[in-house]
């Protein structure tokens, strides 16, 4: 594996970890949950099962389901063939497990092995330990398995949506179960019969739901579904959060109300139960005391003593007569027995066999509680005479007060009743109560739960939510009745005591719905537009950034591929940017010039001038180079060698900060060399031409003057033509030589001060003859403003001669030419105006170029070389001035030049 590959894998793992964590943490939690519970079951360690509230009711199959889920979720993290196999097997197992458990629930089958499998002996007696998984739990496992199976085919939009909905449903199921477990939905919805999954299972499914959503995120399915709907996503998310928060808050409120209600009901139930057990104990003890009073009556003891000594019918009659005296005071029957227990006599009527009888303990004598249309207490008390047991009194008393006591619970509630039971081997014998007129025997366990009466008989007391003998959900207070061996249960139907809560709930869900609706409206009207705007602006920003990036790349490619060097600098000459061509051109390495002064690229000799120009520019003066193109300068490479560059400088104004100067340079050493060679050649040729030309002209002059004798008429014409052309040739040669000398700097410029007026007058006078020859007149417009020029008067005269001769040449027959001077401040403008045809539009831009003539045909009426104006321009600019013209078709032409002027000298 290459270094890059390894780096790529590390980078991927790093970018991967949040989603990996989102899946593996909940998966680990689920796995731990399942293993903990299962370990608890197998080892019988109750603390493992009871570690968390509600863990215990989770049954072994559910624990196994969670273990399989955890493994499957882990396997789904990556798509290697092995993991895929594990995931498939796990998912299939979950589906099967769920189906099997659901079937058991729906058909209400309870195979015996469920009770035994995994269940340690001690755990079997605990509540809810009967091994069957609740229906929602079973369905949740089926859902988990199906979802884990679908992770084979990512990308399909519909499938992605479905998977997300199902994962959401699983999450919701867990949440609802958690809430349901907490607020006992049977309290809210009467006769609610769907089994609730235990808290731990609910938590487990929430974790599975989270892990599945994490897997969906990893598979990139959110993208497949929500690609272009970020604002909708925000909307849904906001709504979801709002709903969740309001749900959680209302649930918390509701559960608080419920807690309070239950606390009150429980407290009052516990109090009522303890009151009643106290009354019952007192009642029984009082009645036993009454039975003892019979046995302690002296006459009765005496009669029984006599019977023991000598039984006789008379003694029996005496005993019966004695017993009859008790019948009025609550005893309905008395039987007197000898020490062996054989009856001697009886008073009143004893009950025969009764529908229900339960023994009472701890009263000191054998006693029992009976039911025969009324409650009876039966007791057998020994009779002692002179230190010897002489017999027994078996008495039966009606307990009229008991039914009355049973009825007084009506104050506690419409469905309130209390039940009195005794143990009867493994069953309970329960006496009639408010809504149950006949006595009955009942089992101690209903479904998988121990009945409260059985708990009371076991000596425990408390308050529970439990089913009662009818299978109805009740809240029941229970307690043993002293040591009597009786249990009391005081209960109210859940339906009744939760009624206020139900009323609240009925209100609550309407409010919640209204709230959710209002929230939805608010969110979609307020949040959505904001989200949309946000998203739109984000999209725009992204698009713009992309576009910018594209453009920047293009620009970079452009200036990198450019043959011309580009240098961007600050106005003070600090280099900010160079393109590769510039670096190549000047022999520097990449980036080497950044931050350096531009003078590095300028030859020593020119640096000072450059520094001065820069200074002037910074001081706000107009630069002479800025905006010019095709300027040729000498430049210097890194190694100190110099070369020629063609150069243009432009100003780049940015919105903020100082402007930047952009220089574009091209190596023109070769071209410049050629140009130089050419002009040198021309100059040399011109010089060489001048000597023979002078000779030719001299000869022609002599011929024309007639010094060589009379020349025949036809020959004269030829000589004239030769003269004219020689003159033209001489002019050309002079102009070429002038041009070359000016350009090469060989022409020295004098520097002197002279007055403008006389100068112009002289110019007009000197050129008048030529103008006259061209049938035009020169005129100086007076007065000439007083001004002094500092220049070379000879060169300036050359300019005047050129402009005046041009004006004369291009004037019409008899045209006037005005020479005029104007002064404005420190400058003087001299203009020469003719009234000829003007300069053709298309020619104007080229007029100052060398050899430029509007009419380049050989049949021109006027002579000229096309060099005159180029020379004028060079001279005027060398003198620090400017030259230009104004011309209109047919309206004549004005050529002007401007020079710095000073006032009259002191």
Question: Which positions lie near ligand ADP, rule CB under 6 A?
Answer: 802, 806-807, 810, 834, 836, 839, 847, 852-855, 864-869, 893
**Nearer Cβ to ligand ADP (170/742):** 742
Nearer to ligand ADP, 501 or 869 (CB): 869
* Cβ-based neighbours of 369, under 8 Å, separated by 6 or more: 357, 358, 360, 375, 376, 377, 378, 422, 431, 486
Strand partners, 190: none
User: Would you say 87 or 835 has its CB closer to ligand ADP?
Assistant: 835
Torsion, CA 669, CA 671, CA 674, CA 680, rounded to 10: -80
HEC string of 113-162 equals HHHHCCCCHHHHCCCCCCCCCCHHHHHHHHHHHHHHHHHHCCCCHHHHHH
Shortest reach from residue 830's CB to ligand ADP, in Å: 14
Q: How far is the CB of 558 from ligand ADP (least distance, A)?
A: 40
Smallest distance from ligand ADP to CB 804, Å: 9
Q: What is the rounded CA–CA span in Å between residue 768 and residue 777? A: 7
Task: Give the up-direction half-sphere exposure of residue 92: CA atoms within 13 A in the CB hemisphere.
Answer: 6
CA-to-CA distance for 599 and 597, rounded, in angstroms?
5
**Is the bond leading into 783 cis (omega within 30 degrees of zero)?**
yes
Provide, rounded to whole angstroms, the least separation between the CB of residue 869 and ligand ADP: 3
In the complex, what is the shortest distance from the CB of residue 706 to ligand ADP, in angstroms, rounded to a whole number?
Answer: 31
CB of 644 to ligand ADP, least distance (A): 27
Type and span of the H or E element at 393? strand 388-398
Q: Which is nearer to ligand ADP, 834 or 898 (CB)?
A: 834
Say how many Å lie between the first and final Cα of the chain, rounded: 93
Select 277 or 874, whichever has its Cβ closest to ligand ADP. Answer: 874
The string over 684-709, giving b where at least 16 C-beta atoms fall within 10 Å of a residue's C-beta and e elsewhere, is eebeebeeebeebbeebeebeeeeee
Strand pairing category for 893-902 and 882-887: antiparallel
What CA–CA distance (Å, rounded) separates 643 from 601? 10
> Based on CB atoms, which residue is closest to ligand ADP, 264 or 856?
856
Structure tokens at 781: 């417009």
Closest contact distance (angstroms) between CB of 594 and ligand ADP is 46
- From the CB of 840, what's the least distance to ligand ADP, in Å? 8
Q: Between 281 and 854, whose beta carbon lies closer to ligand ADP?
A: 854
Give the CA angle between residues 226, 227, 232 to the nearest 5°: 45
Bridge partner residues of 420 (DSSP): 488
Residue number of the CB atom closest to ligand ADP: 864
**At closest approach, how far in Å is the CB of 838 from ligand ADP?**
6
Compare residues 78 and 855 and give the one whose CB is closer to ligand ADP. Answer: 855
Please tell me what DSSP assigns to residue 525: I
User: Of 703 and 807, which CB lies nearer to ligand ADP in the complex structure?
Assistant: 807
Q: For residues 80 and 88, what is the distance between their CA atoms, to the nearest angstrom? A: 12
- CA pair distance 53, 63, nearest whole angstrom: 16
Q: Which is nearer to ligand ADP, 761 or 854 (CB)?
A: 854
3-class state of residue 458 by DSSP: coil
- Smallest distance, ligand ADP to C-beta of residue 777, A: 15
Q: Give least dist CB 899 to ligand ADP, A.
A: 19
Cβ nearer to ligand ADP, comparing 655 with 861: 861
Burial status of residue 463 (CB atoms within 10 A of its CB: 0-12, 13-18, 19 or more): buried
Beta bridge partners of 480: 487
In this structure, the dihedral spanned by the alpha carbons of residues 638, 642, 645 and 647, taken in order and rounded to 10 degrees, is: 70
Q: How far is the CB of 818 from ligand ADP (least distance, A)?
A: 12
When the beta carbons of 683 and 867 are compared against ligand ADP, the nearer one is: 867
């Amino acid at each position: 594996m290459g270094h890059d590959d390894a780096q790529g894998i590390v980078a991927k793992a790093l970018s991967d970890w949040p989603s990996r964590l989102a899946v593996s943490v909940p998966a680990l939690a689920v796995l731990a949950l399942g293993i903990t519970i299962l370990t608890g079951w197998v080892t019988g360690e109750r603390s493992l099962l009871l570690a968390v509230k509600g863990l215990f009711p989770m049954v072994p199959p559910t624990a196994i389901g969670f273990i399989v889920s955890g493994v499957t979720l882990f396997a789904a993290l990556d798509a290697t063939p092995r993991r895929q196999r594990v995931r498939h097997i796990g998912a299939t197992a979950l589906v099967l497990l769920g189906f099997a458990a659901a079937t058991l629930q729906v058909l209400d089958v309870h195979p015996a092995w469920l009770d035994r499998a995994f269940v340690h002996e001690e755990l079997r007696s605990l509540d809810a330990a009967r091994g069957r998984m609740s229906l929602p739990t079973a369905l949740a496992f089926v859902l988990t398995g199906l979802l884990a199976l679908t992770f084979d085919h990512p990308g399909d939009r519909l499938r992605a949506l479905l998977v997300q909905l199902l994962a959401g449903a699983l999450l919701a199921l867990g949440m609802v179960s958690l809430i349901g477990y907490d607020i006992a939905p049977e309290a809210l919805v009467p006769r609610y019969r769907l089994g609730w999954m235990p808290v731990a299972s609910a938590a487990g499914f929430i974790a599975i739901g989270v892990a599945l959503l994490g897997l969906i995120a990893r598979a990139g399915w959110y993208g497949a579904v929500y690609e272009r709907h970020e604002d909708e996503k925000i909307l849904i998310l906001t709504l979801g959060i709002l709903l969740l928060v309001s749900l959680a808050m209302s649930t918390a409120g509701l559960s608080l109300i419920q807690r309070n209600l239950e606390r009150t009901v429980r407290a009052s139930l516990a109090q009522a139960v303890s009151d009643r057990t106290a009354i019952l104990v007192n009642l029984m003890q009082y009645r036993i005391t009454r039975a003892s009073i019979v046995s302690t009556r002296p006459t009765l003891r005496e009669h029984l003593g006599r019977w023991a000594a000598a039984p006789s019918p008379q003694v029996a009659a005496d005993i019966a007569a004695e017993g009859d005296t008790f019948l009025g005071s609550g005893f309905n029957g008395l039987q007197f027995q000898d020490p062996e227990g054989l009856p001697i006599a009886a008073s009143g009527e004893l009950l025969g066999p009764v529908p229900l009888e339960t023994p009472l303990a701890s009263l000191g004598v054998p006693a029992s509680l009976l039911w025969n249309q009324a409650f009876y207490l039966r007791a057998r008390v020994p009779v002692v005479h002179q230190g010897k047991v002489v017999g027994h009194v078996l008495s039966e008393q009606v307990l009229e007060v008991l039914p009355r006591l049973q009825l007084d619970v009506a104050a506690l509630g419409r469905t309130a009743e209390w039940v009195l039971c005794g143990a009867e081997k493994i069953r309970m014998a329960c006496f009639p109560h408010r809504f149950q007129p006949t006595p009955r025997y009942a089992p101690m366990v209903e479904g998988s739960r121990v009945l409260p009466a059985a708990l009371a008989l076991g000596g425990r007391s408390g308050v529970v939510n439990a089913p009662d003998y009818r299978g109805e959900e009740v809240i029941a207070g229970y307690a043993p009745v002293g040591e009597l061996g009786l249990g009391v249960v005081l209960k109210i139907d859940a339906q009744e005591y939760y009624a206020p809560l139900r009323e609240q709930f009925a209100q609550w869900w309407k409010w919640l719905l209204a709230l959710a609706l209002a929230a939805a409206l608010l969110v979609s009207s307020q949040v959505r537009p904001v989200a949309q705007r946000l998203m739109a602006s984000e999209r725009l920003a992204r698009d713009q950034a992309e576009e910018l990036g594209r453009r920047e790349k293009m620009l970079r490619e452009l200036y990198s591929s450019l043959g011309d060097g580009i240098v961007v600098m600050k106005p003070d000459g600090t280099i900010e940017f160079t393109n590769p061509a510039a670096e190549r051109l000047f022999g520097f390495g990449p980036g080497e010039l950044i931050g350096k002064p531009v003078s590095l690229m300028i030859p020593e000799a020119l640096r000072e001038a450059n520094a001065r120009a820069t200074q002037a520019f910074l001081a706000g003066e107009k630069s002479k180079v800025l905006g010019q193109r095709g300027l040729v300068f000498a430049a210097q490479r890194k190694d100190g060698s110099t070369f020629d560059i063609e150069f243009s400088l432009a100003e780049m104004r940015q919105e903020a900060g100082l402007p930047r100067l952009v220089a574009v340079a091209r190596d023109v050493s070769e071209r410049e060399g050629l140009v130089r060679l050419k002009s040198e050649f021309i100059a040399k040729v011109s010089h060489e031409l001048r000597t023979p030309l002078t000779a030719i002209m001299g000869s022609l002059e002599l011929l024309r003057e007639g010094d060589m004798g009379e020349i025949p008429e036809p020959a004269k014409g030829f000589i004239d033509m030769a003269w004219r052309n020689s003159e033209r040739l001489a002019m050309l040669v002079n102009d070429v030589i002038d041009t070359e000398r000016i350009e090469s700097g060989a022409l020295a410029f004098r520097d002197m001060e002279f007055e403008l007026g006389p100068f112009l007058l002289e110019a007009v006078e000197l050129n008048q003859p030529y103008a006259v020859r061209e049938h035009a007149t020169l005129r100086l417009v007076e007065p000439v403003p007083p001004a002094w020029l500092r220049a070379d008067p000879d060169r300036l005269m050359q300019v005047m001669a050129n402009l005046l001769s041009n004006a004369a040449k291009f004037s019409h027959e008899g045209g006037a030419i005005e020479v005029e001077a104007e002064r404005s401040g420190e400058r003087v403008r001299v203009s020469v105006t003719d009234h000829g045809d003007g300069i053709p539009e298309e020619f104007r831009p080229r007029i100052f170029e060398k050899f430029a003539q509007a009419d380049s045909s050989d049949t021109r009426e006027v002579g000229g070389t096309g060099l005159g104006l180029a020379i004028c321009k060079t001279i005027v600019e060398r003198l620090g001035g400017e030259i230009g013209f104004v011309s209109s078709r047919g309206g004549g032409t004005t050529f002007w030049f401007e020079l710095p002027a000073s006032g009259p000298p002191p």
